[in-house]
Each structure stands twice: as structure tokens, then as C-alpha cells.
Amino acid sequence: MRKTPALFVIVILLSGGVARSAQIKGVVLRSYETSKGTWIAHLVNMSHKNVVFVNITVNKHNGSGSYYAIAARSEGYYSESNTFRPDTTRDISLGVDVNESVTPVLDLVVYADDTVEVANEDTLKHYLLPIKEKVLTLQKENEILAKFASSPNRVADTLAELLSVAADLPDPHMRHDDDPHVNSDELLLFARELKRGDIDPDSAIKRNADEIEVETKHAHVIRITGDML
């Protein structure tokens, strides 16, 4: 079984300047301080909801800045063990050296019901991109599986097609745009699953369809403001 994205993820972005909108109210960045050679942010969940994703943009005062991400990972959307629960706190390492003068800004919160508070449109795009790519990739896998449903050499033909399609796709490690694409790495992982016999084509189609339904829901976030919490 393939891993799904983390239930509670924190991403820290270093940026010299970003477009902002409404202020985040459901989660509060209460303070930040230095500890053990790095900056630590203290967050409080003031909402009545479980939080699954938080984004902090770190503005460096020396004028430099580029996107930089750190993620805390867990096993899947369905585990409750790593959620940021209501009326609790989290201490988050910002991954920035104490010798650097910085200002962290909380600019995206995603709740377990797929509602979001957005103060930075770029971070919302950054959050949604892998989800949209997951859907596109699963859809492509099912398209290829269905194409050879009647083939006497179904697995072999499916493997050949997966490898051919993956070879023509953009390298996911060298992005030239912000648009979602079918992920070639995921196609190759799926090909290895089929080759090892970890899953049969019909079971894969059903599994993918179930995942598509879940991920499509996660991709259709609903914007809210603090007054709606």
C-alpha cells in the first residue's frame, strides 16, 4: 500500500516578499524565540477544529529569501495521532539559524474538514499542487489499466505503457512551472508494484478510484474566515 500525504504537516517558507490577504484567526502564532541554535515558533489552535496543515512564511531581514520547505510527516490522512487539536499548542522549529534576524508569519491553515484560512495565495497553491498531481497520476494509472483490460498479456502490456508514459513526462524534481502534472516517479513506483505482484490490475483500479475520491475532496477546499470558526 502506498503512503498518502501527512495528516498534520507544517511547511516553513523563506520568502523575500509575498502577496497577502485576510489574517489567520483559528491558529495563533503566539510568540517565537531561539532555542538550541534555531528559531522556535509557539502556535495555539484557537479554533474548534482539528488542523491538518499549517504554513509559516519566514521573512529574512537581510533582504535575501527563497522558497524553503520543511515538513513533518506521518502515516496518511486517516491517522488521528498527529493532528493539531483544538485548544492545544505546538512548538515548531523554523529551521533558521539564531544568528539570522527573521519574522515568521502564519499565512495558511487547513482544517480536517477541508476548510482553509488563507493569508497568502502562493502558499495555498503550494499546498494544493501535490494533491492535484496525485489525482492526475491516479487517473492516468487507471486509464492505462483500462486500456489493456482485455489483453492476454495485461500486466506486461500495462508495465510497458507505464514505462513509456513515464519517460515522456517532465522530471518532477526539476519544475519549470507551477501547474500540476502526472508524476513520473509515482507511475514507476506503481509499475514496480504490478511487476512484483503486490497488487493485481483490477484491485489497483478500485484502490485508485477510492483514492481519487478522497484526494479530489481534499483538493476542493472551502475558504473561511475567523468569524466562521
Task: Mark whether 25 and 113 lie in a shared domain.
Answer: yes
Q: Of 120, 147, 178, which residue sits at a domain end?
A: 120
Rg over alpha carbons for the chain, rounded to the nearest Å, is 20
User: pTM here?
Assistant: 0.80
For CA atoms 195, 196, 197, 201, the dihedral sign is negative
Bridge-partner residues for 20, per DSSP? 120
Average pLDDT over residues 42-70: 71
State the angle between helix axes of 201-219 and 154-167 in degrees (0 to 180), rounded to the nearest 10: 40
- pLDDT reported for residue 75: 25
- pLDDT reported for residue 96: 72
Instruction: Convert the pLDDT of each residue in 183-211 to its tens digit.
Output: 999 999 999 999 999 999 999 999 999 99
- pLDDT reported for residue 26: 94
Task: List the domain range (segments joined by +) for residue 157.
Answer: 127-218
Task: Mark whether 103 and 202 lie in a shared domain.
Answer: no
CB 12 within 8 A of CB 68: yes
Average pLDDT over residues 140-152: 98
Q: Torsion over CA of 40, 75, 11 and 135, rounded to 10 degrees?
A: -170
Average pLDDT over residues 54-77: 49
The Cα–Cα gap between 83 and 103 comes to: 25
Task: Mark whether 110 and 13 lie in a shared domain.
Answer: yes
- pLDDT reported for residue 159: 98
Q: CA-CA distances (angstroms) from residue 106 to 30, 109, 147?
A: 10, 8, 46
Domain count of the fold of the chain? 2
Q: Which residues contact 35 (CB under 8 A, 6 or more apart)?
A: none
- One-letter amino acid at 182 equals V
Task: Mark whether 115 and 33 lie in a shared domain.
Answer: yes
Task: Mark whether 154 and 179 lie in a shared domain.
Answer: yes
Task: Mark whether 46 and 147 lie in a shared domain.
Answer: no
What the block records as the C-alpha cell of 170 is 517532465
* Top-confidence residue, 84 or 81: 84
Confidence class of residue 70 from pLDDT cuts 50, 70 and 90?
A: very low
The angle formed by the CA atoms of residues 165, 172 and 163, to the nearest 5 degrees, is 20
Confidence class of residue 229 from pLDDT cuts 50, 70 and 90?
A: confident
CB 106 within 8 A of CB 47: no
Instruction: Convert the pLDDT of each residue in 98-139 to its tens digit.
Output: 777 778 888 899 999 999 999 989 889 989 999 999 999 999
The angle formed by the CA atoms of residues 85, 88 and 92, to the nearest 5 degrees, is 95
- pLDDT reported for residue 13: 55
- Given phi > 0 = left and psi -120 to 50 = alpha, else beta, which region is 37? left
Average pLDDT over residues 140-148: 98
* Top-confidence residue, 184 or 59: 184
Mean pLDDT of the chain: 82
What the block records as the C-alpha cell of 2 is 502506498
Give the chain's count of helices (H) and strands (E).
Answer: 4, 8
Percent of the chain with pLDDT over 70: 80
The Cα–Cα gap between 132 and 21 comes to: 23
Bridge-partner residues for 105, per DSSP? 57
